[in-house]
Structures are given as C-alpha cells and as structure tokens.
Amino acid sequence: MLGVFVYTAALAAAPAAVPFAALVPMPARAPVHIEAEESQSSEVSPSGLAHVPTSPPTCEAPLRLNHKSRPLQRRLETALADANLSRYLRAQQLSVAIVDLTRADEIYYAGVNDDEMMYAASLPKIAILLTVAESAKQGKLEWTPEFDERLGSMITESSNSNATWGANLVGLHAIEQVMRDPQYCFYDQMHGGLWVGRPYAGGGESNRDPLKDISHGATARQAARFYTLLDREDLVSREWSRHLIKLMGPPKHHHKFVAGLSGRSGVTFVARKSGTWRNFHADSALIQHDDRRYVAVALSELRSGENVMHELIRLLDDLVMDGSYRRPRNS
C-alpha cells in the first residue's frame, strides 16, 4: 500500500511474532490500583538504601511506579541479601526492578537502586522502537514490512546495524524528545532514564545523557515502566502496543534471564531486550509464568554479571510465584 501508513488496519493484519495462543489471555483492563503502602517521602529501607521521590510534578504519564509495595519490597530486599547480592547493591553495581501484573486491577512494584542511571548497552534500543512507532503514528514515516523485519531484528537479535538504521531514521534528538514527553516521562532531569545518545554502529552524531554523559543508558524503574505500559496497551495506542509486543519476542539470545529460567516449565518471554558490553550486563522482560505475569529488569556493572542475571531472575520468579505479598481477595 502506498501513502501514509494506516496503523489500525495494517497492524491487525500483521503476522504475529509471539505465539499468543500459548499465553494466558489478559482480561479487559479495569482501573488499576497501585499497591503502595510507602509514601513518596525520602526514607531509608532495611537495606540502608534510600527511597526518594522519583517523578517530576509536570509529568502526565500513567503508571509512574513511584510508590513501592512495602510487603514486596521487604521480600525483595531479603531475597537479595540471602543471595549474597547486597554488596553489589551497596556499591551501586546492580539495580533491580520488579512489577507484578498478575491481577488486571492491581500492580505491585518494588526495586533497589531502581533510579540509578547506568550504562545499559543494547537495552535502550527499546527507545528507538518506541520513537519510530510514534513517528509512524504521527504520519512522519510510512511503516512498511521492512520496519517489522529491521526493528524486530534490532530487539530479538540485538542487531546494531538495524538499531542504527532506526536511530538515523528518526534522529537522536527525536528519541530524546519522546523519552522526555510528558505522556511517557521515560527520562527526567532528576534521575535520568531511557537514553540513546549515539548510533549503535559507531560514528555519526552524538547526544549523550546530560546527567552522567552516558551514550546508551537506563534506570531499572523506567525500563520496567516501558514494559508495564506496553502490557497495559498504553504505548502509542492500543493497536500499536499490540504490534510492538509482537516485535519484541520470542528472544533469539538464550542468555541472562532466558538462561536463568530455561529449566522452569510454563515460562514464556512475551517481550524481552537485553544488553551486554564488557562488564556491563542488562536484561529486561515481560514474562508469563503459568497464570502469573510480571516485568523484571536488572542492570549491572559486574564481571560476573551473566551469572548474577541467572540467579537474579530465578529469585524474582520465585517471589512472583509465591505471591504472599498480594492483598487477599474477598471470598
């Protein structure tokens, strides 16, 4: 079809990259209750890490995850300490975020160092994906099958050449604008967030993160928000969210989170983006495990980062499958 891409009709006919028949269908979304017993005021957690306000007052975005579920937070910190990961957290070499999306009307969030801006290698390619989709929705680009092929490869295979193609298509400043957009707030001046500051193939223009001079960065909370909004069909539009989720799975690289859960049955990586460069190891995913659904994100600067990711995702999966932090339902 020539002319401007009409996304509603075209996306409905797009081939599915994710076997949705194998997933537990999500019910229609009711108003969401954020399970948050912890206020925004700064306080120190049992691990000695401060919880601080995380969103600027001008942000209009939904599901900012700036409140944490105290029961889940407690269990997360205990599990991390039991796994002997606290030393990495204290050194700010590891950040973690988890969002339990199992119940359609409730969200449970917890994280440690989750607003620490870190180099995240290929993980921020999700910002390129979103920006290209926004540009297509606005009629600035004509979405063709080439976009599906290239951007799908950028995510599932982590193709640097296709990431550079996407970044050059819209421009680094357009990516920054979408990340800072009040409808998303994936980057803020206090903590940072998702950032792509140069093409992945090297060379070309540069637009580094103003907070830490990072070329490809993220915070665990903002990466977790990306998947949460994707799951709630709040990225670009409902139709676009459904299409983007198809481009983000199944993963082609079986390492980090995927390797960590490889021995567990009933696990589907609905959407996933990882990143690796030298000692920097990052992973992020929307995961369905039987009837449980959750987002897991971890960023690290560790030589042992690959093995830490294996251990960490099993720990997070155990927390969600146990679910004892959830509010009891009325019988």
Domains of the chain: residue spans and CATH = 14-21+60-255+266-322 (3.40.710.10)
| Mean pLDDT along residues 12-29 | 37
| 240-299 pLDDT, tens digit each | 999 999 999 999 999 999 999 999 999 999 999 999 999 999 999 999 999 999 999 999
| 92-104 pLDDT, tens digit each | 999 999 999 999 9
First to last CA, the chain: 53
Q: What is the pLDDT of residue 50?
A: 35
For residues 221 and 71, what is the distance between their CA atoms, to the nearest angstrom?
Answer: 18
Of 114, 110, 120, nearest in space to 280 by CA: 120
Of 214, 221, 201, nearest in space to 158 by CA: 201
For residues 267 and 305, what is the distance between their CA atoms, to the nearest angstrom?
Answer: 22
Mark 50-80 as b/e (b = at least 16 C-beta within 10 Å). Answer: ebeebbeeebeeebbbbbbbebbbbbbbebb
Higher pLDDT residue, 179 or 8? 179
3-state secondary structure of 99: strand
- Are 244 and 235 within 8 A, CB to CB? yes
Q: What is the pLDDT of residue 14?
A: 37
Q: What is the pLDDT of residue 331?
A: 53
For residues 34 and 9, what is the distance between their CA atoms, to the nearest angstrom?
Answer: 33
| 144-196 pLDDT, tens digit each | 999 999 999 999 999 999 999 999 999 999 999 999 999 999 999 999 999 99
Q: What is the pLDDT of residue 36?
A: 59
| 242-257 pLDDT, tens digit each | 999 999 999 999 999 9
Peptide bond into 145 cis (omega under 30): no
DSSP 207-236: ---TTT--SEEE-HHHHHHHHHHHHTT-SS
Crossing angle, helix 125-137 and helix 160-170, to 10 degrees?
40
| Mean pLDDT along residues 41-70 | 63
Q: What is the pLDDT of residue 38?
A: 45
| Mean pLDDT along residues 214-235 | 98
For residues 187 and 192, what is the distance between their CA atoms, to the nearest angstrom?
Answer: 5
Q: Which residues of the chain form beta strands (DSSP E)? A: 33-35, 43-44, 50-51, 94-100, 106-112, 118-119, 187-188, 192-193, 195-196, 216-218, 267-277, 280-289, 292-301
Q: What is the pLDDT of residue 198?
A: 96
Q: What is the pLDDT of residue 58?
A: 85
CA angle 304, 314, 247 (to 5 degrees): 90
